[in-house]
Amino acid sequence: MYPNTQMLIAGEWVNATGGATLDVLNPATGEQIGTVAKASIEDLDRALEASMTAFQLWKKTPVVERAALLRKAGELLRERADSIARLLTIEQGKPFAEAQVEVLLSADVLDWSAEEARRIYGRLIPSRADGVVQRVIREPVGPVAAFTPWNFPVSQVVKKVAPALAAGCSIIVKAPEETPASPAELIRALVDAGIPAGVVQLVYGNPAEISEHLVPHPTIRKISFTGSVPVGKHLAALAGKHMKRATMELGGHAPVMIFDDVDVQAVAHTMASSKYRNAGQVCVSPTRFMVQESVYDAFVSSFVETAAALTVGDGLQSGVKMGPLVNERRVQAVDELISAAAKDGARVALGGERIGNKGSFYAPSVLADVNRDMRIMNEEPFGPVALMMPFRDVEEVVAEANRLPFGLASYAFSRSARIVETLANEVEVGMLTVNHLGLALPETPFGGVKDSGYGSEGGAESMESFLSPKFVTHNAFY
């Protein structure tokens, strides 16, 4: 029951010009389950033309109407959550329960953006002369090109589409070819809610070819990208060359800082559950576990015990807590990093091997006693592996947290107000969550610093990059 996925261009669901397609595989079986249309340059040009035409209409649509359409799309997404989640699990691998949460949270993002649209305020600036009125108007920046990854194929699209539409922009989405059906259903909900033709469009194809055509095109006024650091840097440079505004949500290598004044077993259980969510294929996945020396052995033992109890399998099966990696390339990449670390002296406390010979399953893994020189401590593993190392004091842990060029998410557990304040002030990241898991909510900003990118997706900040301020000064007495 998996569909062959089409593109949405100028309000119509279409195959690619010439009929080109790409295969879609189920990562739990390795078998082909369908195809997705592969856009040609002609298809992209049609989408660009439709996007500019639609923008002229959409930017003038009253904000209350835009908000109502977004809320309607959110309602449709909730009604269809189970069927969309099933497609998501089949094509991406994550357990069905996780897929359901992703779809439902995406509906919340639509609701949040609808309400933020009603709060796009300008302002008056007191003037220096009698009769002069100085005002700032916030206008939609224009047509947007968005590029999204396969690890959260619905929520990563909605985080770009919802604020763009709320602000009055049109948008062309290049969604992931590995997981095309579920984002297509998100876009379908927007179309069925009544979003005018061309305001939102969906394409798939050769990522490099599409980005090289869309980013420099004069129609496109803003770029939004989620993905790897190298690709993000390339697109940011291309956007800069053509003076395009850009939001970059890139990779991380999230530190977890655990001090000796906490409930070790409870923290280990919480963080093991978080680490293996989506098989560790999460940009904010907790990865570098730095544990204070006096509780290090106890934490590693409790963490391994929790991770070992996870059921790995097809995400549609009952009781499964971790599905496969998205494809064979990810299996090989993770295995190479773990093998290299083990050769360099890391202790494989759990896992370290693939599971079976069908599908791209990899065991939940824990590497203990790692050191800073290991490749896996310097490259984002993006898979189901936790790295454990002890530390002595807060100065040491801050130095390690800041050592890498990444700065997306971080986690900390301590009952000391002094330590928490030190971490809040000194850890160089876009997000720090202390004593709980509090990231990636619709109402909170989401983004990084340093090589992890710039700009925010989420919260009131999500609207800013889709709006341009215009200053108007008027002498009423002239």
| Residue 116 within any structural domain of the chain | yes
SS3 (DSSP) at 328? helix
In tens, the pLDDT along 41-76 reads 999 999 999 999 999 999 999 999 999 999 999 999
pLDDT band at residue 110 using 50, 70 and 90 as cut-offs:
very high
| Residue 465 within any structural domain of the chain | yes
- DSSP letters, 374-389, are SGGGTS---SSEEEEE
* Pair (263, 147) in one structural domain: no
| Residue 448 within any structural domain of the chain | no
| Residue 378 within any structural domain of the chain | yes
Residue 286 pLDDT? 98
Q: Are 166 and 70 in contact (CB under 8 A)?
A: yes
* Pair (45, 187) in one structural domain: yes
Q: Domain with 388 in it: what CATH number?
A: 3.40.309.10
User: Range of 47's domain?
Assistant: 7-250+453-471
CA–CA separation, 4 and 25 (whole Å): 12
CA–CA separation, 199 and 169 (whole Å): 8
* Catalytic residue selected from 249, 380, 426, 461: 249
* Pair (246, 262) in one structural domain: no
* Pair (422, 372) in one structural domain: yes
* Pair (258, 239) in one structural domain: no
- How many domains is the chain partitioned into structurally? 2
pLDDT band at residue 388 using 50, 70 and 90 as cut-offs:
very high
Residue 140 pLDDT? 98
| Residue 266 within any structural domain of the chain | yes
* Pair (243, 259) in one structural domain: no
Q: Which of 165, 378, 170, 130 is nearest to 255 (CA)?
A: 378
| Residue 400 within any structural domain of the chain | yes
307-to-2, 125, 259, 277 alpha-carbon distances in Å: 32, 57, 21, 11
CA–CA separation, 7 and 38 (whole Å): 9
Q: Residues of the chain with pLDDT > 90: what percent?
A: 99
Is 249 one of the catalytic residues?
A: yes
Question: 266: which 2 tokens?
Answer: 């409870």
Kindly report the backbone phi and psi dihedral angles of residue 226, in degrees, each rounded to the nearest multiple of 5, phi listed first.
-125, 125
* Pair (460, 349) in one structural domain: no
* Pair (258, 241) in one structural domain: no
| Residue 447 within any structural domain of the chain | no
Residue 312 DSSP symbol: B
* Catalytic residue selected from 98, 283, 380, 457: 283
Residue 401 pLDDT? 98
Q: State pTM to two decimals.
A: 0.97
263-to-266, 269, 270, 414 alpha-carbon distances in Å: 5, 10, 11, 9
* Pair (142, 210) in one structural domain: yes
Q: Domain with 33 in it: what CATH number?
A: 3.40.605.10
Beta bridge partners of 367: 348, 387
Average pLDDT of span 221-236: 98
Q: Which amino acid is at 30?
A: G
In tens, the pLDDT along 318-347 reads 999 999 999 999 999 999 999 999 999 999
Is 169 one of the catalytic residues?
A: no
Q: How many CB atoms lie within 10 A of CB 308?
A: 14
| Residue 2 within any structural domain of the chain | no
* Pair (204, 287) in one structural domain: no
Q: Which of 281, 287, 253, 277 is nearest to 388 (CA)?
A: 287
Side by side, the strands of the sheet bearing 144-147 are 12-14, 7-9, 200-203, 171-174, 144-147, 222-226, 245-249, 453-454
* Pair (228, 258) in one structural domain: no
* Pair (264, 246) in one structural domain: no
